[in-house]
Structure 1
Amino acid sequence: MSKPAPPSRRNALGVLRVRSFRLFFIAQSSSSLGDFLVAPALAFAILDLTGSAADIGLVLAARTIPLTLFMLVGGVLADRLPRQRVMLASDLARFCSQGITAALVFSGDATVWQLMALQAVHGTATALFMPAVTGLVQECVPASQRQSANALRSISHSAAMIAGPLLATLLVLTAGTGWAIAADAATFAVSAYCLARLGLPRDATVPAGRGGHMLTELREGWREFASRIWVWSIITMASLSNMLYAVFTVLGPVLSERELGGRGAWGAILTAFGAGAVLGGAGALWLRTRHPLRTGLLATALFAAPPLVLSQASTTVPAAAAAFVGGAGLMLFNPLWETTLQAGVPASALSRVSAYEWFGSYAAQPVGLMLAGPLAAQAGMRTTLLAAGLAQLAISLAPLALRDVRSHSVERQEHR
Structure 2
Amino acid sequence: MVGARPAWAGRNFLLLTGATVIANLGSSGALIAGAFAVLAAGGSATDVGLVAAARTVALVLFLLLGGAVADRLPRHRVMVAANALSCVSQGLFALLVLTGEPRLWQMAVLAALGGTGQAFFAPASEGMVLASVSGDQAGRAFAVFRMGMNGANIGGTALGGALVAAVGPGWVLAVDSASFAVAGLLRAFLDVDKVAVRAPKGGVLHDLRDGWREVVSRPWLWTVVVQFSLVNAVVSAAEAVYGPLVAEQHLGGPEPWGLALAAFGAGTVGGALMMTRLTPRRLLLTGSLCVFPLALPSAALAVPLPATGLGVIMFGTGIAVEVFSVAWMTALHQEIPEEKFSRVSSYDWLGSLAMVPLATALAGPVQDLIGRQGALWGCSAVIVLLTAAVLCVPDVRRLTRRTGAEPAAEGAVSRAAGATEPHTAAAE
CA contact under 8 A between 1:274 and 1:327: conserved in structure 2? yes
User: What displacement does 1:39 show?
Assistant: 2.8
Counterpart of 1:408 (choices 399, 404, 419) is 399
CA separation of 1:286/1:335 partners in 2, compared to 1, >3 Å: closer, same or farther?
A: same
Deviates more, 1:338-347 or 1:142-151: 142-151
CA contact under 8 A between 1:304 and 1:392: conserved in structure 2? yes
What is the distance in 1 between the residues matched to 2:234 and 2:246?
17
Instruction: Render the CA deviation track for 1:268-327: whole Å, top value 9, x for unaligned.
Output: 232211100001111221211110101011112222333332344475433332321222
What is the distance in 2 between the residues matched to 1:348 and 1:19?
21
CA separation of 1:158/1:41 partners in 2, compared to 1, >3 Å: closer, same or farther?
A: same
What is the distance in 2 between the residues matched to 1:228 and 1:409?
14
User: What displacement does 1:378 show?
Assistant: 5.8
2:215 maps to what in 1?
225
Q: Provide the TM-score with structure 1 as the length reference.
A: 0.87
CA contact under 8 A between 2:281 and 2:400: conserved in structure 1? yes
CA contact under 8 A between 2:136 and 2:404: conserved in structure 1? no
What is the distance in 2 between the residues matched to 1:105 and 1:397?
48
2:205 maps to what in 1?
215
Deviates more, 1:30-39 or 1:236-245: 30-39
Counterpart of 1:156 (choices 148, 156, 173) is 148
Structure 1, unaligned runs of 5 or more: 1-8
User: What displacement does 1:26 show?
Assistant: 0.3
Counterpart of 1:85 (choices 77, 83, 97) is 77
1:301 maps to what in 2?
292
Counterpart of 1:341 (choices 327, 332, 350) is 332
Amino acid across the alignment from 1:288 = T
2:23 maps to what in 1?
31
The alignment status of 1:238 with 2:228, answered yes or no, reads: yes
Matched ranges for 1:347-366 at <5 A: 347-366=338-357
The alignment status of 1:137 with 2:129, answered yes or no, reads: yes
1:74 maps to what in 2?
66
User: What displacement does 1:335 show?
Assistant: 1.2
Instruction: Render the CA deviation track for 1:174-214: whole Å, top value 9, x for unaligned.
Output: 3333343333222212211110122321x62x642325211
Matched ranges for 1:164-313 at <5 A: 164-201=156-193, 204=195, 207-210=197-200, 212-251=202-241, 252-253=243-244, 256=247, 260-313=251-304
Deviates more, 1:54-63 or 1:334-343: 54-63
CA separation of 1:369/1:184 partners in 2, compared to 1, >3 Å: closer, same or farther?
A: farther
Counterpart of 1:394 (choices 367, 385, 391) is 385
Instruction: Render the CA deviation track for 1:77-97: whole Å, top value 9, x for unaligned.
Output: 111100000000101111122
**Could you say what the CA RMSD is over the residues aligned between the two structures, in angstroms?**
2.8
Structure with the higher helix share, 1 or 2: 1
- Identity level (%): 36
User: What displacement does 1:263 show?
Assistant: 4.2
Q: Which secondary structure state, in structure 2, belongs to the residue aligned with residue 409 of structure 1?
A: coil
CA contact under 8 A between 1:80 and 1:207: conserved in structure 2? no
2:358 maps to what in 1?
367
Deviates more, 1:21-30 or 1:110-119: 110-119
Q: Which secondary structure state, in structure 2, belongs to the residue aligned with residue 183 of structure 1?
A: helix
Deviates more, 1:384-393 or 1:123-132: 384-393
Amino acid across the alignment from 1:138 = L
User: What displacement does 1:173 show?
Assistant: 3.5
Instruction: Render the CA deviation track for 1:39-74: whole Å, top value 9, x for unaligned.
Output: 34434555564442x444433322222212211111
CA separation of 1:134/1:268 partners in 2, compared to 1, >3 Å: closer, same or farther?
A: same
Q: Which secondary structure state, in structure 2, belongs to the residue aligned with residue 410 of structure 1?
A: coil
CA contact under 8 A between 1:95 and 1:189: conserved in structure 2? yes
Structure 2, unaligned runs of 5 or more: 406-412, 415-428
Amino acid across the alignment from 2:133 = V
CA separation of 1:410/1:76 partners in 2, compared to 1, >3 Å: closer, same or farther?
A: same
2:14 maps to what in 1?
22
CA contact under 8 A between 1:230 and 1:405: conserved in structure 2? yes
Deviates more, 1:399-408 or 1:240-249: 240-249
Q: Which secondary structure state, in structure 1, belongs to the residue aligned with residue 281 of structure 2?
A: coil
User: What displacement does 1:366 show?
Assistant: 1.9
1:3 maps to what in 2?
none
2:87 maps to what in 1?
95
What is the distance in 1 between the residues matched to 2:54 and 2:224?
25
Deviates more, 1:177-186 or 1:17-26: 177-186
What is the distance in 2 between the residues matched to 1:309 and 1:145?
37
Q: Which secondary structure state, in structure 2, belongs to the residue aligned with residue 389 of structure 1?
A: helix
